[in-house]
Structure 1
Amino acid sequence: MKLYSRLSRIGFLKQKYSTKFLFISFLGIHVPLIGLILFISFSSFRELNPGEVLFWTLGLTLGSTILTLWVQHSLIIPVIASSKALDDYLNKKELPRLPVHFEDEVGVLMRDLNEAIYTLDAHIDEKKDLVNMLSHDLRAPMSNILMLTELIRDDKQKKEMGEYLKMIDLSVQTQLGIVGTILQLMRAELQQNEFVEGVNIRLLIEKVISQFKTSLSLKNIRLEIDVPADLEATLNPYSIELLIYNLLSNAVKFSKPDGLITIKAGKNDDVLDIEVVDEGSGFDPKDAEALFEPFSRKSAKGTLGEGSIGIGLYFSRKIVQSHSGTITAGSNGRGLGSTFTVHIPAEQNKD
């Protein structure tokens, strides 16, 4: 790698990997000629026989060939190092330490490979965290349901039956919410931002709200929509639907019984603004950014004990960023409600 690094410091050899090979080959071809000229020049005081000329020509050519091959092999070392780094990661889970400052094609290859491996490793860690979360969050609601069914079976006091059924309903809703979040994540990873199209934002929001009828009824939450009926935007409808779903799910989860949730949307200078406001648990303003971290345990339980795997808001930010937008969380403190605000360009590029 040292020779490659030194050659990369030479101005006209910096940008192109192939130029380094051509430069070495050029020198290798001309070294015998230059050597022979020098030999003849310094031997001018005596006659040279054909045998000597042939010997020195062959010797210089052989030496130059060996040196050229050695140098060219040294130039391949970065490629070999890249291959070894990938192999070490796949077989030993060792993260690479490839240099990323070179400017030629091999330098770009090492930089991209380095970035790809670190990104892959981060995704694998996220998957591991997800599995660890699921091992608890998927089992707990089912355990509650089993326990409650046993109580119902053994309970002779019918008046307590309604309370047990309410608790079962809550456990089932929690379970469905967790499974729904997982399915959203998997489907979104497959679709990403494959297409954009004209979307009526009001209709999209109403479609999402229809999925929360049971949850809203369970807590007797009022929901107000402040969105123009003709509000249109060109974007990925599936991703934005998931975004609104996650924000509304978060609002319902942390809203108190008999509370109010308000959804607002509008356009401002070709920017689509979406705002979800609730009167629920709120949060410490200093924790605003931490809410968007994956598997965050900030305010992990809802007002009725609803569970979560902590990726809804993290996933929401990913969606917004994929649309070149921003999402922020605001609250005046615990118990004072929260506001989630989204700004994204209303006209996304159609690829």
Structure 2
Amino acid sequence: MTNTASTTTPTAELSAVGVSIWLDDLSRERINSGGIPKLIAEKNVVGITTNPTIFASALSKGESYDEQVRELAAAGADVTTAVFEITTSDVAQACDIFSDVYEATNGYDGRVSIEVEPGLANDTEGTIAEAKRLWKKVDKLNAMIKIPATKAGLPAITEVIGSGISVNVTLIFGLPRYKEVIDAYLTGLEQAAAKGIDLSTIHSVASFFVSRVDTEIDKRLDAVGTPEALAHKSKSGVANAQLAYELFLAEMATERALALQEQGANRQRPLWASTGVKSPDLPDTMYVVELATHGVVNTMPEKTLDATFDHGVIKGDVVAASYAGAHEIIDALPGFGIDYDDVTETLEAEGVDKFNVSWGELLDTVTAALEGAKK
């Protein structure tokens, strides 16, 4: 169900395995340049994700936003309103660009994600309200609202899914939390069904972060410093994601999940996020090649997409035969004094903090732009 515009490139081979390639980047400049249709046609890109960091970067570069900023300044918009208008405009335009992919795949792909304000990560009701506001404003069926998988985010996911809104659950690091995310999704589907909503119209992905797991665990392995610990580096991120896929298959095959699928519900696909390598010692396509399997999304920064297209060696579905080895890798961590739950809790808190910092940078950038437009 993915785009296979070409059959000879590594990205086409990846699509043929069953991986949906989504670009982890969006900007007005990218929209206006016409570059997205080229990525769709040539590099098998079938969706886009955004986050506060991406928007902060986009707003700080170039002149693509100047006209809208002048209009907002003239209308007396405050910075929060301006950010809302600018980001939702980008996402709505990108949704239009991907509308053909959306139609061709019956809603499976052609998706564009926009995130709720990160300051709401621990505010259930605030997250629900913001998610519904974003959905209404973008007003495109192929949009997805990103909600973090915090404790407060879980009931928000259920409520938003239960309202018939497609959700990209973000900032998932640990398997226990991932299981809670799946339960939140299924509960939301049950609520939607009770309201008479067509379940086939609701789509969801669960964004499981990969490279950040390696970064945190490798730091702790370095601190241990033994040859055995150092030999274990750069293995946990892939293993953790492989076990997430094992969990996904098991949870989507339960009586509960199958009953919903019989009513037209879609499976909540795993999405591999944070797939750009952080260490120069690692192959730049590692988090793509080693996580290739059917029915997943890999959302790549452009650098990783280009590397995959240029020299990725796709080995087919490598996840299906990986579970035993992946369990061994994760099960070995306590022997090095590494607490898996502490790692994932640390990463979740850091993830929320990083997006809050980026949100602050975004607000500062737009504030300066609004002030400049008034002069």
TM-score range, shorter chain: under 0.3
**RCO higher in structure (CA 8 A, sep ≥6):** 2
Structure whose alpha-carbon radius of gyration is higher: 1
Alignment TM-score, normalising by the size of structure 2: 0.22
